[in-house]
Structure 1
Amino acid sequence: MAYKELARKIVENVGGKENVRSVVHCITRLRFKLKDEGKANTEVLKNMDGVVTVMKSGGQYQVVIGNHVPDVFEAVVKEGGFETSTSQSPEDDSNDSDQSLLSRAIDTI
């Protein structure tokens, strides 16, 4: 798998698989829900080959990958042993106390 090493480094630098509540992806980003964002090494991730940048928005820790995100997502899921999901519906966040009403509305839009 071409993205195995990148996936390993991403999982490690978001705080390890035990720090990940969930992960989904959109067109260009891996969208993590982390238990503790303080455990993530944002600067390491930003400077990693294969990562465009890192953003925090709407209660999500977003690792911007680019157009090959589906392949990286698949490798991250295998590396972390996470459940797979390629999209996130607004209902997924409806009971998330870490996310404000405004953030949920923006994510829905």
Structure 2
Amino acid sequence: MKTYQFLTLVLSLTFSASIFAADKPLMSADMHTAKGVPCSACHGDNPMKNDLPTETQCVVCHNKAALVEKTKNVKPMNPHNAPHNNDCAACHRQHEPGVNYCNQCHYLDFKVK
């Protein structure tokens, strides 16, 4: 196989893979997996139970004070410093896109990562 044919094949495969990757956005669970975090870290010994992780489980790795500091400039209010914020999974859905749970009662125009 000539060099230009090989490069064309490689570029075609790379471009095709990027199209398929764009079809499925990365979820938070994918990012945890990429960092080597096992399912059991969030779901315990039986991940098939589908229990959502509690904030207590989340803050083992994600420091709450650091999150409040990191999002202190989110307007009109800091979602991590809300008076009734105690359920990370309400916004941060690990296996589906995040949702702005606050908008069920308030109009807060911010994106959830």
Coarse TM-score class (shorter-chain normalised): under 0.3
Q: Which has the larger radius of gyration?
A: 2
Structure with bigger helix share is 2
Q: Which has the higher contact order (CA 8 A, sep 6+)?
A: 1
Question: TM-score under structure 1 normalisation?
Answer: 0.25
